[in-house]
Amino acid sequence: MVQGLDLLTYLTGEPGPDVTCPRVGDAVELRVLSGGRAIGAFSAAGQCLGRLPPAERDAFAELMPEGRLSYPGRISALVPRPRLQGAGRIHIRVSAG
């Protein structure tokens, strides 16, 4: 990943009902899944919180060092979805530097 990079992205999908409610500041791990066809975000407890959308996944994958399959990040925001239930959209910040 490029040194000094500060990437802000978001997750698609909703955490499952058995996932502990995420909070701003929680640590996450972005992991390359399915041979690079997906990048998922996992809580410190190993629970899947969602996946990067395709365009974000492709941009992030280009920035990851060759052979690296995960990268740490933090939840930077939980954005409510009007009239929809669930945790809301989860925003993730990944910093390298």
The Cβ of residue 75 has, within 10 Å, a number of other Cβ atoms equal to 20
Q: What domains are defined for the chain?
A: 6-95 (3.30.70.2330)
**Per-residue confidence at 12, pLDDT binned at 50, 70, 90?**
confident
pLDDT in the model for residue 85? 61
| Residue range 37-93, pLDDT digits in tens | 889 999 999 999 999 999 888 888 777 777 888 889 999 998 876 766 655 788 889
pLDDT in the model for residue 4? 55
**Per-residue confidence at 17, pLDDT binned at 50, 70, 90?**
confident
Rg of the chain over all Cα atoms, to the nearest angstrom = 13
The Cβ of residue 37 has, within 10 Å, a number of other Cβ atoms equal to 10
Question: What pTM, to 2 d.p., does this model score?
Answer: 0.81
CA dihedral sign, ordered 7, 12, 18, 20: positive
